[in-house]
Amino acid sequence: MLLYLHIPYCDSKCHYCSFNSYVDKFDTRKAYMEALYRQLLFELERFGAAAQSIETLFIGGGTPSTVDPALYAPLFDLVAPYLHRDAEITSEANPNSATPAWLQGMRELGVNRVSFGVQSFDADKLKALNRAHTPRQAKEAILTARALGFAHLSLDLIYNYRGDTKALLLADITEAFSLPIDHISAYELSIEDGTKFAATPQVRQENDALAFFVAEEIRKRGFPQYEISNYGGYRSRHNQGYWELKEYIGAGAGAVGFLGDTRYYPRTDIDRYIADPLHNTQEKLSAAEMLTEKLFLGLRSCIGIETATLPEVMRERISLLVKEGKLHERNQRCYNTNYFLSDELVLFILG
Protein backbone atom coordinates (compact mmCIF):
# COMPACT_ATOMS: atom_id res chain seq x y z
CA MET A 1 0.00 0.00 0.00
CA LEU A 2 1.11 3.54 -0.82
CA LEU A 3 0.26 6.86 0.82
CA TYR A 4 0.03 10.24 -0.91
CA LEU A 5 -0.50 13.55 0.93
CA HIS A 6 -1.45 16.61 -1.12
CA ILE A 7 -0.31 20.08 -0.07
CA PRO A 8 -2.18 22.64 -2.21
CA TYR A 9 -0.15 25.77 -1.40
CA CYS A 10 2.27 27.52 -3.73
CA ASP A 11 4.19 30.77 -3.47
CA SER A 12 3.63 31.29 -7.20
CA LYS A 13 1.53 29.59 -9.87
CA CYS A 14 3.66 28.25 -12.70
CA HIS A 15 2.22 29.11 -16.11
CA TYR A 16 2.04 25.43 -17.10
CA CYS A 17 0.64 24.07 -13.82
CA SER A 18 -2.77 22.37 -13.80
CA PHE A 19 -2.44 20.81 -10.34
CA ASN A 20 -4.77 21.80 -7.52
CA SER A 21 -2.82 24.63 -5.88
CA TYR A 22 -3.42 28.09 -4.45
CA VAL A 23 -1.27 31.16 -3.91
CA ASP A 24 -3.74 33.10 -1.75
CA LYS A 25 -4.79 30.72 1.04
CA PHE A 26 -1.77 30.62 3.33
CA ASP A 27 -3.83 31.65 6.36
CA THR A 28 -5.63 28.28 6.17
CA ARG A 29 -2.52 26.10 6.49
CA LYS A 30 -2.97 25.10 10.14
CA ALA A 31 -6.67 24.28 9.69
CA TYR A 32 -5.88 22.42 6.48
CA MET A 33 -3.25 20.20 8.09
CA GLU A 34 -5.69 19.42 10.91
CA ALA A 35 -8.33 18.45 8.33
CA LEU A 36 -5.71 16.33 6.54
CA TYR A 37 -5.11 14.51 9.83
CA ARG A 38 -8.84 13.79 10.16
CA GLN A 39 -9.07 12.39 6.66
CA LEU A 40 -5.93 10.34 7.04
CA LEU A 41 -7.25 8.78 10.25
CA PHE A 42 -10.41 7.79 8.37
CA GLU A 43 -8.55 6.46 5.33
CA LEU A 44 -6.22 4.27 7.37
CA GLU A 45 -9.30 2.48 8.70
CA ARG A 46 -11.07 2.34 5.32
CA PHE A 47 -7.99 0.80 3.68
CA GLY A 48 -7.46 -1.65 6.54
CA ALA A 49 -3.92 -0.42 7.13
CA ALA A 50 -1.89 -2.77 9.30
CA ALA A 51 1.46 -2.44 11.01
CA GLN A 52 4.20 -1.73 8.44
CA SER A 53 1.73 -2.03 5.55
CA ILE A 54 2.59 1.35 3.97
CA GLU A 55 5.56 0.86 1.67
CA THR A 56 5.99 4.45 0.52
CA LEU A 57 4.84 7.92 1.54
CA PHE A 58 4.88 10.79 -0.96
CA ILE A 59 4.14 14.42 -0.08
CA GLY A 60 3.26 16.35 -3.21
CA GLY A 61 1.54 19.49 -4.29
CA GLY A 62 1.38 22.32 -4.75
CA THR A 63 4.56 22.98 -2.85
CA PRO A 64 5.10 20.97 0.34
CA SER A 65 8.02 23.22 1.32
CA THR A 66 5.57 26.09 1.94
CA VAL A 67 4.32 24.28 5.07
CA ASP A 68 6.37 24.26 8.28
CA PRO A 69 7.64 20.83 9.40
CA ALA A 70 5.91 21.36 12.76
CA LEU A 71 2.54 21.13 10.99
CA TYR A 72 3.55 17.79 9.46
CA ALA A 73 4.60 16.28 12.79
CA PRO A 74 1.13 15.05 13.89
CA LEU A 75 0.69 13.31 10.52
CA PHE A 76 4.01 11.52 10.85
CA ASP A 77 3.12 10.49 14.40
CA LEU A 78 -0.18 9.08 13.12
CA VAL A 79 1.30 7.01 10.28
CA ALA A 80 4.46 5.89 12.08
CA PRO A 81 3.06 2.48 13.17
CA TYR A 82 1.90 1.76 9.61
CA LEU A 83 5.13 2.64 7.78
CA HIS A 84 7.35 -0.20 6.67
CA ARG A 85 10.71 -0.16 8.43
CA ASP A 86 12.48 0.77 5.18
CA ALA A 87 9.70 2.93 3.72
CA GLU A 88 10.62 5.38 1.01
CA ILE A 89 9.43 8.78 2.27
CA THR A 90 9.54 11.52 -0.36
CA SER A 91 8.66 15.19 -0.28
CA GLU A 92 8.54 17.52 -3.22
CA ALA A 93 10.11 20.92 -2.66
CA ASN A 94 10.82 24.16 -4.47
CA PRO A 95 14.35 25.54 -4.17
CA ASN A 96 13.26 28.98 -2.94
CA SER A 97 11.20 27.64 -0.01
CA ALA A 98 13.29 24.54 0.83
CA THR A 99 15.38 26.43 3.37
CA PRO A 100 18.04 24.66 5.46
CA ALA A 101 15.66 24.84 8.43
CA TRP A 102 12.79 23.29 6.43
CA LEU A 103 15.00 20.53 5.05
CA GLN A 104 16.41 19.77 8.50
CA GLY A 105 12.91 19.66 9.99
CA MET A 106 11.65 17.24 7.35
CA ARG A 107 14.75 15.10 7.73
CA GLU A 108 14.09 14.81 11.46
CA LEU A 109 10.50 13.70 10.74
CA GLY A 110 11.81 10.82 8.63
CA VAL A 111 11.79 12.10 5.04
CA ASN A 112 14.60 10.30 3.21
CA ARG A 113 14.06 11.53 -0.35
CA VAL A 114 13.47 15.01 -1.78
CA SER A 115 12.28 15.80 -5.29
CA PHE A 116 13.17 19.37 -6.28
CA GLY A 117 11.12 21.28 -8.84
CA VAL A 118 14.02 22.80 -10.74
CA GLN A 119 12.72 22.69 -14.36
CA SER A 120 15.77 24.54 -15.75
CA PHE A 121 19.04 26.20 -14.77
CA ASP A 122 18.46 28.94 -17.34
CA ALA A 123 17.34 32.15 -15.61
CA ASP A 124 15.34 33.47 -18.57
CA LYS A 125 13.48 30.20 -19.00
CA LEU A 126 12.64 30.07 -15.29
CA LYS A 127 11.11 33.56 -15.49
CA ALA A 128 9.12 32.62 -18.59
CA LEU A 129 7.71 29.56 -16.78
CA ASN A 130 6.94 31.78 -13.75
CA ARG A 131 9.18 29.79 -11.45
CA ALA A 132 9.92 31.54 -8.15
CA HIS A 133 13.55 30.42 -7.77
CA THR A 134 16.86 31.22 -9.39
CA PRO A 135 19.43 28.75 -10.78
CA ARG A 136 21.68 29.52 -7.80
CA GLN A 137 18.90 28.70 -5.31
CA ALA A 138 18.30 25.37 -7.04
CA LYS A 139 21.94 24.34 -6.74
CA GLU A 140 22.25 25.54 -3.14
CA ALA A 141 19.08 23.71 -2.02
CA ILE A 142 20.26 20.40 -3.48
CA LEU A 143 23.74 20.75 -1.98
CA THR A 144 22.23 21.62 1.40
CA ALA A 145 19.94 18.58 1.27
CA ARG A 146 22.91 16.32 0.58
CA ALA A 147 24.89 17.88 3.43
CA LEU A 148 21.97 17.24 5.77
CA GLY A 149 22.07 13.54 4.93
CA PHE A 150 19.11 12.86 2.63
CA ALA A 151 19.69 9.46 1.05
CA HIS A 152 18.07 10.20 -2.31
CA LEU A 153 17.67 13.43 -4.25
CA SER A 154 15.83 14.06 -7.51
CA LEU A 155 15.16 17.06 -9.73
CA ASP A 156 12.68 17.85 -12.50
CA LEU A 157 13.49 19.31 -15.91
CA ILE A 158 11.10 20.60 -18.59
CA TYR A 159 11.77 20.56 -22.32
CA ASN A 160 10.07 21.74 -25.51
CA TYR A 161 9.28 25.18 -24.18
CA ARG A 162 9.46 27.68 -27.04
CA GLY A 163 13.09 28.44 -27.79
CA ASP A 164 14.50 25.27 -26.22
CA THR A 165 17.54 24.10 -28.12
CA LYS A 166 19.90 21.19 -27.77
CA ALA A 167 22.50 23.59 -26.39
CA LEU A 168 20.20 24.93 -23.67
CA LEU A 169 18.97 21.48 -22.66
CA LEU A 170 22.49 20.07 -22.70
CA ALA A 171 23.54 22.86 -20.32
CA ASP A 172 20.62 21.95 -18.02
CA ILE A 173 21.54 18.26 -18.05
CA THR A 174 25.23 18.97 -17.50
CA GLU A 175 24.40 21.23 -14.53
CA ALA A 176 22.08 18.59 -13.11
CA PHE A 177 24.79 15.94 -13.22
CA SER A 178 27.20 18.24 -11.41
CA LEU A 179 24.92 17.94 -8.37
CA PRO A 180 24.57 15.03 -5.89
CA ILE A 181 21.37 13.57 -7.34
CA ASP A 182 20.45 9.99 -8.18
CA HIS A 183 17.27 10.65 -10.18
CA ILE A 184 15.92 12.98 -12.87
CA SER A 185 12.37 13.46 -14.12
CA ALA A 186 12.34 15.09 -17.56
CA TYR A 187 8.90 16.21 -18.72
CA GLU A 188 7.81 17.55 -22.07
CA LEU A 189 5.87 20.79 -21.67
CA SER A 190 2.15 20.19 -22.09
CA ILE A 191 -0.59 22.80 -22.38
CA GLU A 192 -3.48 22.13 -20.01
CA ASP A 193 -6.87 23.83 -19.80
CA GLY A 194 -7.10 26.40 -17.05
CA THR A 195 -3.40 27.25 -17.05
CA LYS A 196 -1.80 30.57 -17.98
CA PHE A 197 -0.21 28.94 -21.03
CA ALA A 198 -3.61 27.77 -22.29
CA ALA A 199 -4.10 31.28 -23.69
CA THR A 200 -0.79 31.07 -25.58
CA PRO A 201 -0.38 27.43 -26.65
CA GLN A 202 2.34 28.43 -29.10
CA VAL A 203 4.79 28.55 -26.17
CA ARG A 204 5.02 24.79 -26.59
CA GLN A 205 7.18 23.82 -29.52
CA GLU A 206 6.74 20.62 -31.50
CA ASN A 207 10.17 19.01 -31.64
CA ASP A 208 10.14 15.26 -31.12
CA ALA A 209 13.87 15.12 -31.70
CA LEU A 210 14.46 16.97 -28.42
CA ALA A 211 12.70 14.19 -26.47
CA PHE A 212 15.11 11.61 -27.87
CA PHE A 213 18.04 13.99 -27.35
CA VAL A 214 17.20 14.58 -23.68
CA ALA A 215 16.70 10.85 -23.06
CA GLU A 216 19.99 9.92 -24.72
CA GLU A 217 22.01 12.59 -22.90
CA ILE A 218 20.65 11.51 -19.52
CA ARG A 219 21.08 7.80 -20.21
CA LYS A 220 24.66 8.10 -21.42
CA ARG A 221 25.57 9.82 -18.16
CA GLY A 222 24.59 6.71 -16.25
CA PHE A 223 20.90 7.17 -15.42
CA PRO A 224 18.86 4.37 -17.06
CA GLN A 225 15.39 5.31 -18.28
CA TYR A 226 12.77 3.32 -16.39
CA GLU A 227 9.66 5.25 -17.47
CA ILE A 228 8.86 7.67 -20.25
CA SER A 229 9.86 10.67 -18.08
CA ASN A 230 11.99 9.11 -15.32
CA TYR A 231 15.67 8.20 -15.12
CA GLY A 232 17.97 7.19 -12.34
CA GLY A 233 20.40 4.90 -10.65
CA TYR A 234 17.69 4.98 -7.99
CA ARG A 235 14.11 4.21 -9.04
CA SER A 236 11.23 5.82 -7.19
CA ARG A 237 9.41 3.00 -5.42
CA HIS A 238 6.33 5.18 -5.00
CA ASN A 239 6.03 5.85 -8.73
CA GLN A 240 6.55 2.19 -9.53
CA GLY A 241 3.76 1.32 -7.12
CA TYR A 242 1.36 3.51 -9.11
CA TRP A 243 2.39 1.84 -12.36
CA GLU A 244 1.82 -1.58 -10.80
CA LEU A 245 -1.70 -0.45 -9.80
CA LYS A 246 -1.02 -0.98 -6.11
CA GLU A 247 -3.62 0.40 -3.74
CA TYR A 248 -2.92 3.87 -2.40
CA ILE A 249 -4.41 6.26 0.11
CA GLY A 250 -4.83 9.78 -1.24
CA ALA A 251 -5.36 12.42 1.44
CA GLY A 252 -5.79 16.14 0.91
CA ALA A 253 -7.69 18.56 -1.33
CA GLY A 254 -7.20 17.29 -4.87
CA ALA A 255 -5.66 13.94 -3.94
CA VAL A 256 -6.87 10.63 -5.35
CA GLY A 257 -7.12 7.29 -3.54
CA PHE A 258 -7.40 3.84 -5.08
CA LEU A 259 -8.78 0.71 -3.38
CA GLY A 260 -9.81 -2.48 -5.19
CA ASP A 261 -11.48 -1.18 -8.33
CA THR A 262 -12.57 2.19 -6.94
CA ARG A 263 -11.02 5.65 -6.96
CA TYR A 264 -11.79 8.16 -4.20
CA TYR A 265 -11.69 11.92 -4.80
CA PRO A 266 -11.75 14.35 -1.86
CA ARG A 267 -12.94 17.89 -2.49
CA THR A 268 -10.49 20.18 -4.28
CA ASP A 269 -11.50 23.54 -2.80
CA ILE A 270 -9.44 24.19 0.34
CA ASP A 271 -12.22 25.79 2.38
CA ARG A 272 -14.77 23.10 1.54
CA TYR A 273 -12.19 20.41 2.25
CA ILE A 274 -11.40 21.90 5.66
CA ALA A 275 -15.11 22.03 6.48
CA ASP A 276 -15.61 18.34 5.62
CA PRO A 277 -12.42 16.37 4.86
CA LEU A 278 -14.29 13.05 4.85
CA HIS A 279 -16.50 13.97 1.90
CA ASN A 280 -15.48 12.30 -1.35
CA THR A 281 -16.82 11.14 -4.68
CA GLN A 282 -16.17 7.65 -5.97
CA GLU A 283 -15.42 6.22 -9.40
CA LYS A 284 -15.77 2.49 -9.96
CA LEU A 285 -13.56 1.14 -12.75
CA SER A 286 -14.77 -1.62 -15.03
CA ALA A 287 -12.63 -4.67 -15.85
CA ALA A 288 -11.97 -3.18 -19.30
CA GLU A 289 -10.85 0.13 -17.81
CA MET A 290 -8.52 -1.64 -15.35
CA LEU A 291 -6.99 -3.64 -18.18
CA THR A 292 -6.47 -0.53 -20.29
CA GLU A 293 -4.70 1.20 -17.39
CA LYS A 294 -2.45 -1.81 -16.85
CA LEU A 295 -1.45 -1.72 -20.50
CA PHE A 296 -0.75 2.00 -20.64
CA LEU A 297 1.10 2.13 -17.31
CA GLY A 298 3.01 -1.09 -17.92
CA LEU A 299 4.28 -0.24 -21.39
CA ARG A 300 5.33 3.31 -20.57
CA SER A 301 7.52 1.99 -17.76
CA CYS A 302 9.82 -0.83 -16.68
CA ILE A 303 6.84 -2.67 -15.14
CA GLY A 304 5.73 -4.29 -18.39
CA ILE A 305 2.53 -6.32 -18.72
CA GLU A 306 1.65 -9.90 -17.86
CA THR A 307 0.64 -11.65 -21.07
CA ALA A 308 -0.83 -14.94 -19.82
CA THR A 309 -4.08 -13.38 -18.56
CA LEU A 310 -4.73 -11.25 -21.64
CA PRO A 311 -7.41 -12.12 -24.22
CA GLU A 312 -6.10 -14.27 -27.07
CA VAL A 313 -6.46 -11.55 -29.68
CA MET A 314 -4.27 -9.23 -27.60
CA ARG A 315 -1.65 -11.94 -27.13
CA GLU A 316 -1.56 -12.41 -30.91
CA ARG A 317 -0.97 -8.69 -31.45
CA ILE A 318 1.75 -8.71 -28.79
CA SER A 319 3.44 -11.67 -30.50
CA LEU A 320 3.53 -9.66 -33.71
CA LEU A 321 5.13 -6.70 -31.88
CA VAL A 322 7.69 -9.05 -30.31
CA LYS A 323 8.60 -10.44 -33.75
CA GLU A 324 9.03 -6.88 -35.03
CA GLY A 325 11.34 -6.06 -32.11
CA LYS A 326 9.03 -3.40 -30.67
CA LEU A 327 8.42 -5.45 -27.50
CA HIS A 328 10.47 -8.12 -25.80
CA GLU A 329 9.05 -10.96 -23.74
CA ARG A 330 10.51 -12.57 -20.64
CA ASN A 331 8.90 -14.91 -18.09
CA GLN A 332 5.38 -14.34 -19.45
CA ARG A 333 5.75 -10.55 -19.26
CA CYS A 334 6.40 -8.25 -22.16
CA TYR A 335 8.35 -5.02 -21.98
CA ASN A 336 8.56 -1.96 -24.16
CA THR A 337 11.84 -1.22 -25.92
CA ASN A 338 10.95 2.44 -26.60
CA TYR A 339 8.79 4.20 -24.03
CA PHE A 340 8.10 7.10 -26.40
CA LEU A 341 6.05 4.71 -28.55
CA SER A 342 4.00 3.34 -25.65
CA ASP A 343 0.68 4.97 -26.51
CA GLU A 344 0.80 3.75 -30.10
CA LEU A 345 1.70 0.23 -28.99
CA VAL A 346 -1.16 0.06 -26.49
CA LEU A 347 -3.67 1.33 -29.04
CA PHE A 348 -2.51 -1.39 -31.45
CA ILE A 349 -2.84 -4.09 -28.75
CA LEU A 350 -6.33 -2.89 -27.83
CA GLY A 351 -7.34 -2.90 -31.50
Residue 191 pLDDT: 66
The count of residues in the chain is 351
The pLDDT mean for the chain works out to 92
Average pLDDT score over residue span 247-267:
96
156-170 pLDDT tens trace: 999 998 889 999 999
Which range (190-194, 293-297, 304-308) has the least confidence? 190-194
Cα–Cα–Cα angle for 196, 155, 123, rounded to 5 degrees: 55
All domains of the chain, ordered by start, with CATH? 2-243 (3.20.20.70), 287-351 (no CATH)
Per-residue pLDDT at 18: 55
Q: What integer is the mean pLDDT of 226-231?
A: 96
Q: What is the pLDDT of residue 61?
A: 86
What is the pLDDT confidence band of residue 11, given thresholds at 50, 70 and 90? confident
Query: Quick one: pLDDT at residue 128?
Result: 84
pLDDT computed for residue 82 by the predictor: 98
Among 73-87, 98-112, 327-341, whose mean pLDDT is lowest? 327-341
Q: Does the structure show a pLDDT above 80 at 114?
A: yes
- Per-residue pLDDT of 132-150, as tens digits, reads 889 999 999 999 999 999 9
pLDDT tens sequence across 168-197: 999 999 999 999 999 999 999 876 666 666
Give percent of the chain above pLDDT 70.
94
Residue 13 has a pLDDT of 56
Q: What stretches of 156-221 show up as alpha helix (H) in DSSP?
A: 166-176, 208-219
Q: How many CB atoms lie within 10 A of CB 145?
A: 27
Residue 14 pLDDT exceeds 60:
no
Segment 302-319 mean pLDDT = 92
pLDDT band at 198 (very low <50, low <70, confident <90, very high): low
Q: Are strands 262-266 and 280-284 parallel, antiparallel or unpaired?
A: antiparallel
φ/ψ bin of 48: left (φ > 0), alpha (ψ from -120 to 50), beta (otherwise): left
* CB count in 10 Å sphere of residue 101: 10
With contact defined as beta carbons under 8 Å apart, do 109 and 69 qualify? yes
pLDDT interval class at 343 (50, 70, 90): very high
Q: Note the pLDDT of residue 283.
A: 96
Planar angle of CA 96, 18, 135, nearest 5 degrees: 25
Least confident of 28-32, 117-121, 205-209: 205-209
pLDDT recorded at residue 199: 66
pTM: 0.93
